[in-house]
Amino acid sequence: GENVEQHPSTLSVQEGDSAVIKCTYSDSASNYFPWYKQELGKRPQLIIDIRSNVGEKKDQRIAVTLNKTAKHFSLHITETQPEDSAVYFCAASISSGSARQLTFGSGTQLTVLP
Amino acid sequence: DAGVIQSPRHEVTEMGQEVTLRCKPISGHDYLFWYRQTMMRGLELLIYFNNNVPIDDSGMPEDRFSAKMPNASFSTLKIQPSEPRDSAVYFCASSLTGSEAFFGQGTRLTVV
């Protein structure tokens, strides 16, 4: 099955700096890559996603890049703010017929220092 | 829409007791997923349904775990008998296409 590795496990940045979280996946059939943000004690929430036919996607301060050849994708947060502090999860999904497999990375605890 | 609704939010039970977790997916979503989250193992997919039919239950840890989806608006995850190592946060998520998953608030289960 799919295996998703995520790095780093913890990341501290100064407010206003950029943060980058990287993930690799193993199954070249994966074609959908979402990122989730989970604040303490709350549910994971989808913040951005990218499909395999696109190399980059941006939404305000958040961007995601995908390198299908190398099988890795990254989350970039610019101008970080304290409210960006949370655990971020990457995931990879294989869609085939009615079959769906969303495999999550192990998470990155991001702390934005004021 | 109120989103995915799970109940109860918190459950404390004694080892050996039966536990039933409930989920109401977003109306119109054809996919329903049950996940378990622990510090050690992260987010694990237990089982998912498409149009009320279980598609993949390979993530269900043991026969003590079972899940049902009797109709499009309700699903249950049952643990019988429960054990302390089952303590975790259990999330239900639903999806229109099977890709974008929307999570419920989760049920924090503690088995003592």
Distance from CA of A103 to the nearest CA of B (A): 8
Q: Given this model, what pLDDT does residue A101 score?
A: 72
- Residue-averaged pLDDT of chain A: 93
Q: Given this model, what pLDDT does residue B99 score?
A: 80
User: How confident is the model over B3-41, as pLDDT tens digits?
Assistant: 999 999 999 999 999 999 999 999 999 999 999 999 988
Which residues touch B37 (CB under 8 Å, ≥6 apart)? B43, B44, B88, B89, B90, B91, B106
Please count the residues of chain A: 114
> Which residues sit opposite A32 in a β-bridge?
A51, A93
Question: Which of A34, A44, A99 is the closest to B55 by Cβ?
Answer: A99
User: How confident is the model over A35-76, as pLDDT tens digits?
Assistant: 999 999 999 999 999 988 889 999 999 999 999 999 999 999
User: How confident is the model over B77-87, as pLDDT tens digits?
Assistant: 999 999 999 99
Select the residue from A3, A7, A10, A98 to test the B interface by mutation, using most B Cβ atoms within 10 A.
A98
Distance CA A93, CA B96 (A): 14
Q: Minimal CA–CA distance to B65: which of B77, B54, B53?
A: B77
Joined tokens for residue A64: 């995601």
Phi, psi of A83, rounded to the nearest 5 degrees: -70, -5
Joined tokens for residue B30: 């054809």
Look-up of token digits 């237990």: B46
Distance CA A77, CA A64 (A): 9
For residue A39, how many other CB atoms are within 10 A of its CB? Answer: 12
A60-97 burial by CB neighbour count: b if 16+ within 10 A, else e? eebbbbbeeeeebbbbbbeebeeebbbbbbbbbbbbee
In chain B, residues with a C-beta closer than 8 Å to the C-beta of A46 are: 100-102
Given its phi and psi angles, is residue A97 left (phi above 0), alpha (psi -120 to 50 degrees) or beta?
A: left
Cα A39 to chain centroid, rounded = 15
CB contact under 8 A, B45 and A107: no
Q: Given the DSSP bridges, would you call strands A86-96 and B5-7 parallel, antiparallel or unpaired?
A: unpaired
Q: Given this model, what pLDDT does residue B22 score?
A: 98
